[in-house]
A and B are shown apart, each in its own frame.
Chain A
Amino acid sequence: MSGMNEFIAFVRRHRVAASIAFLLVMPLLMPYQALAVNILIFGLFAVGFNLLFGYTGLLSFGHAAFLGVGSYLTGIGMVHMGLPWGVAVLLGVASAALVGVVMGYLAIRTRGIYFSMVTLALAQIVYYAFYKAERWTGGENGLRGIQVPKMEVFGFTLDFLNPNTKYYVILAFVAVALWFVSRLLASPFGAVMEAVRENEKRAAACGYDVDRTKLLVFVISAAICGLAGALRALHLSVVPIESLHYLLSGQAVMMCLLGGMGTFFGPFIGAGVFLTLEDVVTTMTRHWMAVVGAVFMFFVLFFPAGIWGSFMKRLDKSS
């Protein structure tokens, strides 16, 4: 089946284009539009998380902080500061990256197993801080009133409230982010990331500054998750306080593992499966958390490479 192998090799070499092609048609596969947009946003969230977890081997349980900060700062920019949406999105991403610098610096000071605990706890600081700052964030009720009725882009006027337009505008951002991630992973730095994951001591002996590498990945990951958050704010028109909650950090972990950590497109598959599962299960029972938790445990035990990861491994073996 060498024709098949050639096709697969072609797709892998052009993974960004292939991913975008898939995402272009994904809405047609989805029962309703909002689910498709959610998959885009959370797929990006998971991709950002995967850079740190799947590729560099650092398990953070605080990534909701970046999604939330991205959302909140975009919202605050538009609602309280009257910024145009484009600038507000930039503000969201930059703020998330800044939080990433601080959190990353503190978390990387710890060793090994502490990392997960510290990131969780540091994200709680962000949660409480935003919860208390009611004047800016709306506290428990969340930030409301993020309006993007019309978007001026390159001379065109887009109606963001139209579900189709909304999807493709967000897809444009996701596409750029995916392109960036792909370049990063294919670069020499990408090899350093994986070397750190495989064997930190060895990487240091070769001459790589492991701590600086980790911090750099942490910040890039934070920025990408911040972008996902910014887009989410535009999509929902509100920022719920749950955006900063530990459960959302956990969802990033779950999506990444379900899909396939350390693969390029796995996180998107994971996000798609997770959100679709959530959608389906909640129609059948209130106790969807138990179902998802059980499915996750099943994957941890028997399919740690995830859906896409297992598929990729199967392909590698047969080629």
Chain B
Amino acid sequence: MEITLSLLALQLVTGIALGAIYALLAIGLSLIFGMLTVVNFAHGAFFMVGAFIGLYFMGLTGNFWFSLVLTPLVVGCIGLVTERFLVRPLYGRGIDYPLLLTFGLSWVLIEAMRLAFGVEGLPSSTPPELRGAVDLGIGYFPKYRLFLIFATAVVVIALWLFLEKTRYGLIVRAGSRDGEICRVLGIDVSRVWLVVFGIGCAIAGLSGVLAAPTRAVNPEMGIHVLAESFVVTVVGGMGSLVGAVVAGLLVGVVFALTSLFAPELAELSIFVLMAVVLLVRPQGLFGKAGLMG
């Protein structure tokens, strides 16, 4: 197969679009971890729920944009309920417990989707407005992939503004379950935990609804995505939003390019990347040495 420039560029865009999804997922994970010190093992499940619910709303209303806005809200609400009633009681106990709980939750969510939508999954399709390709000079690029990248960029910028420019964002950035800063600013700490967990899950749900047109939507999709988000997090460094974005894009591009040149090794390639990072720089590309030590 001849590798032309346009083919390479196309695969690069595919990789960046994939990376955009990974970046979103890693950002959600990082937010939840940074604020609550909880590794959300249900993150992949929330992604999957987002994909299912997104398709459901689209089927119901025929409107992709409506689904795009509503789905994260719904998934975020599930996140709020989860934090309030399932995770919060475990904070005193040690970092493993919320992790274990979210792991159990993921099983329930997977089965819930099987119950609601069947074992086979749902057929997904690209929304009509975003079908087709666009000629950008060097070649034709799928509209939807470009939209994905654009939408992710918008979300990341919005998040950045929220974290850097607002008072609430300051608290989230200051991080940790310490509560000191919150008390100083007169904000209820548990409310902050609740909201951050909700936002993290909402972002996972959003990445699900965005990703749905690009892959098979079935109850198992969250499991692979969970492992892949962990790879991104290790490569980028937990607790770093810049790291999440850079690592997400890197992993996506590595996967896409390996699929082009050595398709057999595509899935392995990103895990090998993680292993290399672990050997050379265990704290991740943007992580601080001794973080979590």
Contact = CB atoms under 8 A, between A and B. Distances in A.
Interface of A: 59, 61, 106, 109-114, 116-118, 120-122, 124-125, 128-129, 132, 246-247, 250, 253-254, 257, 286-287, 289-290, 292-294, 296-297, 300-301, 304
B104 interface: yes
B104 A294 contact: yes
A118 B233 CA distance: 10
B275 A114 contact: no
A124 B268 CA distance: 8
Given A114-B238, A114-B292, 16 more contacts: A109-B282, A112-B95, A113-B33, A116-B41, A120-B230, A122-B274, A125-B272, A246-B223, A286-B114, A287-B114, A287-B115, A290-B111, A290-B112, A297-B105, A300-B100, A301-B101
Contacts of B233: 117
A146 B253 CA distance: 41
Interface residues of B, number: 48
Nearest to A288: B111
B81 to A, nearest CB: 13
* Residue among A114, A120, A246 with most chain B CB within 10 A: A114
B37 A122 contact: no
Interface of B: 33, 37, 39, 41, 86, 89-90, 93, 95-97, 99-101, 103-108, 110-112, 114-115, 223, 226-227, 230-231, 233-234, 238, 264, 267-268, 271-272, 274-275, 278-279, 282-283, 290-293
Contact of B107 (A109, A118, A124, A293): A293
A119 to B, nearest CB: 10
Query: A interface, by DSSP: helix, strand, loop or mixed?
Result: helix
Nearest to B114: A287
B39 A113 contact: yes
A116 B39 contact: yes
* Residue among A247, A253, A287, A300 with most chain B CB within 10 A: A300
Contacts of B104: 254, 293-294, 296-297, 300
Contacts of A296: 100, 103-104, 107
B13 to A, nearest CB: 25
7 contacts: A106-B278, A114-B238, A121-B234, A125-B275, A128-B268, A290-B112, A293-B108
* Residue among A113, A121, A128 with most chain B CB within 10 A: A121
B46 to A, nearest CB: 14
Contacts of B103: 61, 250, 253, 296
A254 B108 CA distance: 14
A301 B82 CA distance: 13
Contacts of A113: 33, 37, 39, 95, 99, 238, 292
Contacts of B99: 59, 113, 116
Contacts of A111: 282-283, 290-293
Given A111-B291, A113-B238, A300 B227 contact: no
A246 B227 CA distance: 9
Contacts of B230: 117-118, 120-121
B33 A121 contact: no
A253 B106 CA distance: 14
A90 B89 CA distance: 45
A287 B114 CA distance: 8
B106 A121 contact: no
B234 A117 contact: yes
Nearest to A132: B264
B104 to A, nearest CB: 4
A110 B235 CA distance: 12
Contacts of B97: 300, 304
Given A297-B86, A300-B100, A120 B227 contact: yes
A110 B90 CA distance: 24
Contacts of B238: 113-114
Contacts of B231: 121
A152 B194 CA distance: 62
A97 B260 CA distance: 35
A257 B272 CA distance: 31
A112 B101 CA distance: 18
A122 B278 CA distance: 11
B39 A118 contact: no
A197 B175 CA distance: 26
A117 B230 CA distance: 6
B234 A118 contact: yes
Given A106-B278, A122-B271, A301-B90, A293 B111 contact: yes
A304 B97 CA distance: 9
A290 B264 contact: no
A257 B96 CA distance: 12
B264 A294 contact: no
A304 B278 CA distance: 32
A290 B293 contact: no
Nearest to A109: B282
Contacts of A117: 39, 230, 233-234
A129 B266 CA distance: 11
Nearest to A107: B278
A255 to B, nearest CB: 13
A178 to B, nearest CB: 25
Q: State the 4 A-B residue pairs at the shortest beta-carbon distance, nearest first.
A: A293-B107, A290-B111, A117-B230, A296-B104
Nearest to B37: A113
A286 to B, nearest CB: 8
A257 B104 CA distance: 12
Nearest to A302: B89
Nearest to A250: B103
